[in-house]
Structures are given as C-alpha cells and as structure tokens.
Amino acid sequence: MTPRRTIFVTGAGSGIGRAIALHFGHQGWFVGLGDNDPDRMYETERMLPGGYSYAYWMDVRRRDEWDDALRVVARASGGQIDVVANNAGVAESGTLMDLSDEQVEHELSVNLSGAIHGARAAYRYLKETAPGSCLVNTSSASGLYGVPGLNVYGATKAALKSLSESLDAEWAADGIRVRCLMPGFVDTPLLDGHIGPVTVRDHLKALGLEVLSPEQVAQAAWDAVHGDKLHWPVGKDARRLTFAARWLPGRLRRQMRQVAAKG
C-alpha cells in the first residue's frame, strides 16, 4: 500500500495556514499542524479527516521546536514528510517610525528567522522523500514592491522571496523543489490591524484593491506543489504588481507615493 503523502503547515490555526491544511487534508494527505495558539490549531484539526493529522504547539522562532515538531509529525505519519509549508507570519501596520522596537523585532523574528529555521529543519526530511518533495514559502505581493504602511512586513516578504530563489538553486541537486507563494491581500486577521484611524481591510477597499480568500491561496499552494514554477503570484493585484515592478517602475513609484500621501 502506498503511504499517504505528508505536509507540515505552520500558522495552521487560521487564515492561509488553515486553508492549506484543509485543502491538502481533503485530498487525502496526512497533515501536520504547527501553531502558537493551541485552541485555534486544534479547531483546525477537528475539521480534518479523523486519524490523518497531528497537531504540535510550537513557536517558529525556536529552532529546537521546529526540530521537535518535524520529528514527531514524521513519526506520526509513518516516517515521512513530503512538503513543508513555511506559512506562519505576522503583520504590523503603520509607518516605520510609528512601530515600536518590539513590533519590528517580532515581525523580523517570526516572518524571516522563523522561515529560515523552518527551511533548515525541513531539509533532511525533504531530502529523504526527494524527488518530488517541496518547501513552500508564503511570501506576499508586498515583497514585490514596498507598500506604505507595511514596511517591515514587506521587507521580510522580499527577503523570503530571495531565500526561495537561493534554495531553489541550492537544493536542486537534491531533488527538492522550492515554491514561493506571493498572494495579494488576503482576508485573514492580519487585515484587522490599523493604518492610521482605519483598518487595513478598509484601507484596501478604499483603494479599490482585491482581497483574496484563504482558499484561493490554498489552491495556489496545491498547484505550486504539483507545478514547475518557482514564483506563484496569487490574484490579479499580485500579477499586476509583478508586471508593474518589472516594466513600469516609475509609474508604480508614483502610485505608492500617492498611497502614502492619502494615508
């Protein structure tokens, strides 16, 4: 009997992480869940087919917790991990000078250090199941060109895009695929933050920008794991930003300055 393929997803308690976990789980995969909120994580687990998941309460900023989580999930799944979804992330909105030192450090440590720890911890498991294994990093359209009010967040997501490109080259000889999801704005709790007096969600609506569902990103994650591209812009705004950043940088710069002036 062919063993079930296994995915481990961080940030699995809500938003994109929960949607990815459910999408893969309902396709017959064994799903490992990682999150720092046990209540939300176990709520996700209850939505999955019984007996084919394992939840682990963890902090992605701790390399030792990454090692522990992957070890127990591999054991629970029958000895293998085929895909690791480096998805956990936080967003602090506001101008750079409005953010506290603690907010800046929190974004850097979760979004970037946490993803690097995840990649390093995942490598040996993905190498064992290669070819066909995959690291999926959740970057953002904000990593394609900096968005006013999401400065440190965008910087971490740009770094995650660069990390994905480096690992795509470094791990190719091992048969490990690397994929970088770059969704536009997604309807998750991250949009409940504020830019000035309004929420990020309301700010985006006022600008006429698209807000994706987590399920749209989960479908893109599935397509990315089974596809052959490195970069996966998700949604029309992400595709437009990809185009503009490459071919219309002057116009895009002016638009971002106008956004900042309105904020």
Residues that are catalytic: 153, 157
Alpha helices in the chain (DSSP H): 15-25, 38-46, 63-77, 101-107, 114-129, 151-170, 200-206, 214-226, 236-247, 249-262
What's phi and psi for 180, nearest 5 deg?
-120, 110
What DSSP element (H or E) covers 231? Answer: strand 231-234
Q: Give the whole-angstrom CA distance, residue 101 versus residue 96.
A: 10
Query: Is the four-CA dihedral 168, 171, 177, 182 of positive or negative sign?
Result: negative
Q: Give the whole-angstrom CA distance, residue 60 versus residue 104.
A: 16
| Amino acid letter for position 76 | A
Query: Is the four-CA dihedral 129, 131, 136, 137 of positive or negative sign?
Result: positive
The tokens describing 200, both together, are 């990020």
Buried b (16+ CB within 10 A) or exposed e, 14-52: bbbbbbbbbbbbeeebbbbbbbbeeebbebbbeebeeee
Query: Is the four-CA dihedral 6, 11, 13, 15 of positive or negative sign?
Result: negative
Reported residue count of the chain is 263
Q: Give the whole-angstrom CA distance, residue 140 versus residue 154.
A: 8
